[in-house]
Amino acid sequence: MIAVPHPIEARGLAKRYGDVVAVAGVDLTVRYGDVYGFLGPNGAGKTTTMRMLLGLIRPTAGATRLFGRDPLLEGARALDGVAGFVEAPRFYPYLSGRRNLELLADLDGGDARSRIDEALDVVELAPRAAHKVGGYSHGMRQRLGLAAALLRDPRLLILDEPATGLDPAGMRDMRALIRRLADGGITVLLSSHLLAEVDELCDRVAIVRSGHVVYEGALDDLRAAAGSSYRLTTTDDERAERVARAQPGVGGVSRDPDGVRFEAAGDEIVAALSVALVESGVGLLTLVPRTATLEDLFFALTEGPEAEAPVAPPAVEAGT
């Protein structure tokens, strides 16, 4: 069987500006049909990585393949079937939305012009297409950016913060739009600094911090890896702590004024502990599961103590 190349494969991507390491060795694999979230706080290196993916800037180290092709070596040919925007999409403000798309379609060639009406329909801008872009709201510009990408009839969309700056309804509409495009068979890589947005849209994520990927994989696996902890209050917490420590399968036991905390992987272990407590003469008052929310995990990954410093020794060369 011949291996089909992934829509995106990046290995060891790094970018340094003087002594600032914007991206410090990022590996990414985006598979067919993924709606892949590239998640990280401001300054984490999302935009810089996306620029490298699209061949807009040259990596200091590492390489990218889009459907198996290197955008630095193959230029426009590597971008066949690939579209999107990095940072905010840009348009001529004194021209209409439609005229802007016409100019882009002419640059692109092919049958891009024949897709303009459909693209405007998909992003629900048809009624405003004759108006100048200068009068568009931020959300309308983002949608026009998506329409411009659709002119290329993409198999892969790379979208840098498509929903940032939109109001809640605009965000919801943008999510629904991206979901529809993905359901229609387009692979999507989108960046965001909002976990909730990525959680709603994406199957897989890479979480970046200071240019490093601190997690890559399914969000469900991240949730599962957090494990389950519990808090217990009883008629005798001191004795409860001793019983919990002696109970098979129970770990991470500690006691504080709020009760006894412990970790247990599975309902049977929790049930067995409750029986053991009662048999020891300890009365149960409350037993509360404390599953870490995805938000807790995200902040722990992106705001906790760092393993590596983001700033490198002075660079020999400052690349572009």
Residues that bind Mg ion (CB under 5 A): 46-47
DSSP string, 211-276: TEEEEEEEHHHHHHHT-EEEEEEES-HHHHHHHHHHSTTEEEEEEETTEEEEEESSHHHHHHHHHH
Look up residue 269 and give its two tokens: 């272990």
Question: Using the rule CB under 6 A, is 42 a contact of ligand ATP?
Answer: yes
Taking the complex as a whole, the smallest distance from the CB of residue 206 to ligand ATP amounts, in Å, to: 12
- Chain position whose Cβ is nearest to ligand ATP: 22
3-class state of residue 90 by DSSP: coil
Question: Using the rule CB under 6 A, is 40 a contact of ligand ATP?
Answer: yes
Instruction: Single out the segment in contact with ligand ATP by CB under 6 A; choices: 40-48, 144-152, 165-173, 180-188.
Output: 40-48
- Chain position whose Cβ is nearest to Mg ion: 47
Nearer to ligand ATP, 153 or 161 (CB): 161
Nearer to ligand ATP, 60 or 247 (CB): 60
Taking the complex as a whole, the smallest distance from the CB of residue 77 to ligand ATP amounts, in Å, to: 26
Question: Using the rule CB under 6 A, is 198 a contact of ligand ATP?
Answer: no
3-class state of residue 151 by DSSP: coil
3-class state of residue 35 by DSSP: strand
Question: Using the rule CB under 6 A, is 319 a contact of ligand ATP?
Answer: no
Size of the site for ligand ATP (CB under 6 A): 12
- Restricted to residues 1-30, the positions that interact with ligand ATP (CB under 6 A) are 17, 20, 22
Question: Left, alpha or beta for 292 (phi > 0: left; psi -120 to 50: alpha)?
Answer: beta
What is d(CA 260, CA 184) in angstroms, rounded to the nearest whole number? 50
What is d(CA 57, CA 94) in angstroms, rounded to the nearest whole number? 29
Nearer to Mg ion, 47 or 228 (CB): 47
Task: Say how many C-beta atoms besides its own lie within 10 A of residue 64's C-beta.
Answer: 22
Residues 86, 45: contact at Cβ < 8 Å?
no
What is d(CA 273, CA 245) in angstroms, rounded to the nearest whole number? 10
H or E segment and range at residue 162:
none
Taking the complex as a whole, the smallest distance from the CB of residue 48 to ligand ATP amounts, in Å, to: 3
187-192 and 35-39 beta bridge pairing: parallel
H or E segment and range at residue 47:
helix 46-53
Question: Using the rule CB under 6 A, is 175 a contact of ligand ATP?
Answer: no
- Per partner kind, with CB cut-offs from 5 to 8 A, the member of ligand ATP, Mg ion, none near residue 40 is ligand ATP
Nearer to ligand ATP, 193 or 212 (CB): 193
Question: Using the rule CB under 6 A, is 84 a contact of ligand ATP?
Answer: no
- DSSP-derived secondary structure letter, 89: -
Taking the complex as a whole, the smallest distance from the CB of residue 210 to ligand ATP amounts, in Å, to: 8
Taking the complex as a whole, the smallest distance from the CB of residue 96 to Mg ion amounts, in Å, to: 28
Question: Using the rule CB under 6 A, is 204 a contact of ligand ATP?
Answer: no
Nearer to Mg ion, 159 or 282 (CB): 159
Question: Using the rule CB under 6 A, is 47 a contact of ligand ATP?
Answer: yes
Look up residue 89 and give its two tokens: 């999409």
Binding residues for ligand ATP, rule: CB under 6 A, are 17, 20, 22, 40, 42-48, 193
